[in-house]
Amino acid sequence: MRYSIILLAVLTISLQSCGQSKPTTTSETTKTNKTMDTTGKKTDEEWKKTLTSDQYYVLREKGTERAYTGKLYLTKDKGIYKCAACGNELFTSDMKFDSHCGWPSFDREIKGGKIITQTDTSFGTIRTEIMCAKCGSHLGHIFDDGPTETGKRYCVNSVSLEFIPEDSATKK
């Protein structure tokens, strides 16, 4: 019995490791009435053909990769982070910081309405989900507990991002 209670507590904490007690309320990022760009919208079958199974699970089914396992979690290289589904530029390396939550974290997005948000009440919590404004793919969540001057923490799944190193971006 005691083991079951401890296991339940650990599971609850791990599911909420990027949790928050109140929804994000910022005029810069909370634009739930904003709609995504649906030009060239793909069907589920088309997404399944273009994404890996892990990408499909996170980006299209709103899944989450395990904490501390993502390929971009510890990346410190200079460059741009794009949506892995559609290539929309979302973040730069200057916006990234180590939040010790197990996922890549950013304190702001690239300007221009690159990200849309909506309230997420799954797992018995209230969080603000972030999605790519171009294709509607799930990226992660945003919280009001960031350590930088913005006070924001965009907690993003590595698998939902494609990283383009600065030297590669300047060669194009």
Q: What are the structural domain ranges in the chain?
A: 2-171
Catalytic site includes residue 101: no
Q: Low-confidence residues of the chain, pLDDT below 50?
A: 6-17, 19-34
pLDDT for 68: 95
**Catalytic residue (one of 18, 86, 135, 155):** 155
pLDDT for 10: 41
Chain centroid to CA 52: how far? 17
**Average per-residue pLDDT in the chain?**
82
Architecture of domain 2-171: Beta Complex (2.170)
- pLDDT, tens digit (0-9, with 9 covering 90-100), for 99-121: 999 999 999 999 999 999 999 99
Chain centroid to CA 67: how far? 12
Q: Per-residue b/e over 89-112, b at no fewer than 16 CB within 10 Å?
A: bbbbbebbeebebbbbbbbbbbee
pLDDT for 14: 43
pLDDT for 28: 36
